[in-house]
Amino acid sequence: MRPNFHPSLVNDVFEDPCLFINFLFENRAIAFDLGDIHNLSSRDILKLTHIFVSHTHIDHFAGFDRFLRIALGRDKTVHIFGPRNFLTNIEGKLASYTWNLADNYEKSLVLRATEVTTEGLYTQTYACRDHFIPKDPVRQAPPSCILTEEPGFTVKTVILDHGIPCLGFCLDERFHINIKKDALTSMGLVPGPWLQDFKKALYENMPPDTIINARGEKGEHPLTLEKLADSIAVITQGQKIVYITDVVFNRSNREKIVLFAQNADQLFMESYFLDSEKDIASAKHHLTAKQAGEMAGMACAKKLIPFHFSPRYTACRDLVEIEAMESFAQAMGKAQG
Ligand SMILES: [Zn+2]
Ligand SMILES: [Zn+2]
């Protein structure tokens, strides 16, 4: 199976986190956290349509400036989500620059920011053409764990405890559509943007007689959705990508994380300390590698990717990885009885 979503940590485990999730069949990406993003090309940064920030400690949010620098002057709306106080943080960032020449840009970047709290979702819009000063009052919606819902996928959140509220994120692909290349060829069809229309029609559950303008070797080739689905598509369960960082190990967090990460295909988990330093981990509201592995195992995750290690382990990174993986295997064994 060739997955639609390709997550990759932008940096080494000792650097400021950002999980970049590339959409393989669209010129588009989303990010979990905006730590150091200098390793991302401008082209990749411009693919971002949605950014989800776990919390605004500087190691998770300092990349906002780089993002803003690259996206400025583009005709683009970017949705950005964060925890309690997020609108104040965004406004603080935007207020730190002078925008008197912003009118010179022909195209206007628009940031649509949402603060996620237990009381509700609070959204405000900041447009470059307005010098990033909001025109309308903040829009309030009831509390929801669903932040983004599109035909092909959903992004959900869970509010966790890091001494402050900190968001965990999950990208859930609704189902996965594989295209049978050999079937395409035998029907005289060629890949192209029309495959996106085809997939979108399936995700949106459109009627079987919907006409899709498939691309043939000699031009357009209209076919029904049903005919195409039967002949060129294989539908499998979608993938689930979960990102958990900067959380204290307590009962409430553990229960929430195990439930949230259940059966994740890829589970990215902070592993800031070794378990021999679990008192420091607890005082700093972080996990140990052992605790991360244990929760990943209890959640029956298919794959654990430990990240966000304390720089104190630079010379012994293997120890952190091994501790997380051993604990993961052990807890998984128990969970599966
Ligand atoms: Zn951190
Ligand atoms: Zn933090």
Q: What is the pLDDT of residues 75-90, one digit of tens each?
A: 999 999 999 999 999 9
Q: Are residues 214 and 118 in the same domain?
A: no
Q: Are residues 29 and 42 in the same domain?
A: yes
**Candidate from 25-29, 181-185, 314-318 with smallest mean pLDDT:** 25-29
Q: Are residues 136 and 42 in the same domain?
A: yes
Q: Are residues 102 and 165 in the same domain?
A: yes
Tens digits of residue pLDDT in 259-274: 999 999 999 999 999 9
The alpha carbon of 285 and the centre of ligand 1 are apart by a number of angstroms equal to 10
In the structure encoding, which two tokens stand for residue 159, read together? 């509010």
The alpha carbon of 30 and the centre of ligand 2 are apart by a number of angstroms equal to 21
The alpha carbon of 326 and the centre of ligand 1 are apart by a number of angstroms equal to 23
Three-class SS string for 172-185? Answer: EECEEEEECHHHHH
The alpha carbon of 59 and the centre of ligand 1 are apart by a number of angstroms equal to 6
- Whether the per-residue pLDDT at 125 is higher than 70: the answer is yes
Q: Are residues 17 and 153 in the same domain?
A: yes
Q: Are residues 294 and 230 in the same domain?
A: no
The pLDDT-based confidence of 131 (bands split at 50, 70, 90) is: very high
Rounded Cα distance between 279 and 282, Å, is 5
Phi-psi region of 151 (alpha: psi -120 to 50; beta: other; left: phi over 0): alpha
The alpha carbon of 35 and the centre of ligand 2 are apart by a number of angstroms equal to 11
The reply to whether 184 falls in a domain is yes
The residue-averaged pLDDT of 214-232 equals: 90
Pair type for strands 121-127 and 211-216: unpaired
What rounded mean pLDDT belongs to the chain? 94
**Residue that finishes a domain, picked among 151, 173, 195:** 173
**Candidate from 43-52, 95-104, 168-177, 234-243 with smallest mean pLDDT:** 95-104
Q: Are residues 281 and 190 in the same domain?
A: no
The residue-averaged pLDDT of 312-335 equals: 96
The alpha carbon of 324 and the centre of ligand 1 are apart by a number of angstroms equal to 18
**Residue that finishes a domain, picked among 157, 173, 189:** 173
Please check whether residue 86 is in contact with residue 57, taking contact to mean a CB–CB distance below 8 angstroms: no
Q: How much helix, strand and coil, in percent to the nearest 5, is found in the chain?
A: 35, 30, 35
Number of domains observed in the structure of the chain: 3
In the structure encoding, which two tokens stand for residue 60, read together? 């998770």
- Whether the per-residue pLDDT at 9 is higher than 60: the answer is yes
Residue range of the domain that includes 100 = 5-173
Instruction: Name which of 39, 36, 9, 34 is nearest 21 in CA terms.
Output: 9
Q: Are residues 325 and 190 in the same domain?
A: no
Q: Are residues 148 and 164 in the same domain?
A: yes
Residue 97's pLDDT is 94
Pair type for strands 76-82 and 48-52: parallel
The alpha carbon of 319 and the centre of ligand 2 are apart by a number of angstroms equal to 22
The pLDDT-based confidence of 127 (bands split at 50, 70, 90) is: very high
Q: Are residues 36 and 160 in the same domain?
A: yes
- Whether the per-residue pLDDT at 3 is higher than 90: the answer is no
Looking at 204-316, list the stretches that DSSP marks H as alpha helix, in order from N- to C-terminal side. 225-232, 251-260, 278-283, 289-298
Rounded Cα distance between 303 and 309, Å, is 18
> Helix count (H) and strand count (E) of the chain?
11, 18
Rounded Cα distance between 62 and 173, Å, is 29
The residue-averaged pLDDT of 101-126 equals: 92
Please check whether residue 170 is in contact with residue 268, taking contact to mean a CB–CB distance below 8 angstroms: no
The pLDDT-based confidence of 200 (bands split at 50, 70, 90) is: confident
Q: Which ligand is nearest to the CA of 160?
A: 2
The alpha carbon of 101 and the centre of ligand 1 are apart by a number of angstroms equal to 35
Q: Are residues 181 and 120 in the same domain?
A: no
Angle between helices 289-298 and 317-335 (to 10 degrees): 30
Residue 1's pLDDT is 56
Q: Which residue's structure tokens are 């051993």?
A: 326
The alpha carbon of 270 and the centre of ligand 2 are apart by a number of angstroms equal to 10
* 3-state SS, residue 33: coil
> For the chain, how far is it from start to end, CA to CA, in angstroms?
29
Phi first, then psi: give them for residue 167, nearest 5 degrees: -95, 135
Q: Are residues 212 and 123 in the same domain?
A: no
The reply to whether 242 falls in a domain is no
Higher pLDDT, 333 or 26: 333
Residue 96's pLDDT is 95
